[in-house]
C-alpha cells in the first residue's frame, strides 16, 4: 500500500513539474500579446477610422485649388478633402471637382483621420432621388425588358 501511494505521489509531482514550464510559457506569450508595441500604437494613431461615416447637407463654400468643400450647420462646419480615391457623382453619372459648387445639395461618406480632418470617400451631388422616381424607373425598365411571350396567355 505504501508503495502504491509513493508511486502515485511521484507521478503527480512529475506531471506538475512537466506542466509548469508550458503554463509559464503560455502566460508570457499572452502578456506579450496584451501589451502592444510602440510602433503598433503609432500606426493606429495615424490610421483612418475603421469605416466611412455618412454626411449630407448644403455646400457652403468650395476651394478648387485645395480640393475641399465645406458643409455648414447650426453648430459648426465641416471641411471635406477630396482625394484621387474619392468617387464623385452627379445624378448617377461620374462627375469631377469642377462640378462641386456652392449652394448644392451633397451627401456621401467620409473617413475621419487621426488629426481630425475629414477625407471624402464618396460625394453625391444634387438632391436625393425620391422613392417614387426610383419605382417609376424600375417599372419602366421592367416593362421595356419584358418580351411578348412573357405576357398573360388566354
Nine-digit cell at 35? 501589451
Nearest to 100 by CA among 129, 58, 128, 130: 58
- The pLDDT value recorded for residue 7 is 75
As a whole number of angstroms, the distance between CA 122 and CA 119 comes to 9
- The pLDDT value recorded for residue 41 is 45
As a whole number of angstroms, the distance between CA 10 and CA 70 comes to 77
By percentage, how much of the chain surpasses pLDDT 70?
Answer: 56
* Tens-place pLDDT, residues 78-126: 999 999 999 999 988 999 999 999 999 999 999 999 999 999 999 999 9
- The pLDDT value recorded for residue 115 is 93
As a whole number of angstroms, the distance between CA 79 and CA 114 comes to 15
Q: Average pLDDT, whole number, for the chain? A: 76
pLDDT tier for residue 67 given thresholds of 50, 70 and 90: very high
pTM of the model: 0.55
**pLDDT tops 80 at residue 38:** no
**pLDDT tops 70 at residue 24:** no
Amino acid at each position: 500500500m505504501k508503495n502504491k501511494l509513493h508511486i502515485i505521489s511521484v507521478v503527480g509531482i512529475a506531471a506538475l513539474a512537466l506542466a509548469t514550464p508550458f503554463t509559464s510559457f503560455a502566460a508570457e506569450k499572452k502578456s506579450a500579446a496584451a501589451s502592444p508595441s510602440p510602433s503598433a500604437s503609432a500606426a493606429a494613431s495615424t490610421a483612418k477610422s475603421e469605416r466611412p461615416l455618412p454626411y449630407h447637407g448644403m455646400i457652403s463654400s468650395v476651394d478648387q485649388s485645395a480640393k475641399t468643400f465645406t458643409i455648414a450647420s447650426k453648430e459648426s462646419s465641416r471641411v471635406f478633402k477630396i482625394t484621387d480615391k474619392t468617387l464623385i457623382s452627379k445624378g448617377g453619372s461620374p462627375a469631377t471637382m469642377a462640378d462641386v459648387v456652392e449652394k448644392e445639395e451633397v451627401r456621401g461618406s467620409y473617413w475621419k483621420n487621426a488629426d481630425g480632418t475629414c477625407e471624402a470617400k464618396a460625394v453625391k451631388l444634387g438632391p436625393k432621388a425620391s422613392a417614387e422616381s426610383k419605382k417609376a424607373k424600375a417599372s419602366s425598365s421592367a416593362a421595356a425588358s419584358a418580351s411578348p411571350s412573357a405576357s398573360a396567355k388566354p
